[in-house]
Structure formats: C-alpha cells, structure tokens
Amino acid sequence: MEIELSSNFLRKAKKLPRKERMLLSQKVDIFRSNPSDPRLKTHPLTGKLKGLLSFSLNYSKRITFLYIEPNKVLFFDI
C-alpha cells in the first residue's frame, strides 16, 4: 500500500507527543498490511467529511484518508 501525506497531516504529526508518534507508526504499519484490520476501526465519514474514511489512532484522535487509486491513499488529517 502506497501512502501519500498532506502538508496538514505532516504538520500535525510533528506536533504529536512522542508516545502518540510511536503509536502512529504502529497503526500505519497495520494499515499498510490490512486497511480494514479491526484494530484500526476503519470507517467511512458522514456530513462535511462525506467521501473520506478514517481510522482510530487512539480514543481522541483519528487519521482521515482518501483512496486515490486502489492501492494508493492520501492521509489528510489527524
């Protein structure tokens, strides 16, 4: 799975505390191997964010993304 990162995603990822950055790395590895892994809680969004999907980083943060191609995604935001 190829992953592209938006500038907004990169800016917010740099501001995460160290433990959350480590968790982000683990979750991205899981996402690369299986985007629908139950540990990620991947789901489509509704409302203003309709058309995007997200997965959970922890209880208070999520990663929003969009499939650009069948095997390529763009991470938008944290």
pLDDT in tens, 26-43: 999 999 999 999 999 999
Query: CATH number of the domain that 37 lies in?
Result: 3.30.2310.20
pLDDT (tens digit per residue) in 15-25 = 999 999 999 99
Q: Are 13 and 24 in contact (CB under 8 A)?
A: yes
Which neighbouring-strand residues pair with 5? 75
**DSSP secondary structure letter of residue 20:** H
Structural domain boundaries enclosing 52:
2-77
Count of domains for the chain: 1
- pTM for this structure? 0.86
- Partnered with residue 56 across adjacent β-strands are 62
Rounded-to-integer distance, Cα 49 and Cα 2, Å: 22
Q: Give all strands (DSSP E) within the chain, no chain letters.
A: 2-5, 43-44, 53-56, 62-69, 72-77
For position 70, what pLDDT does the model report? 87
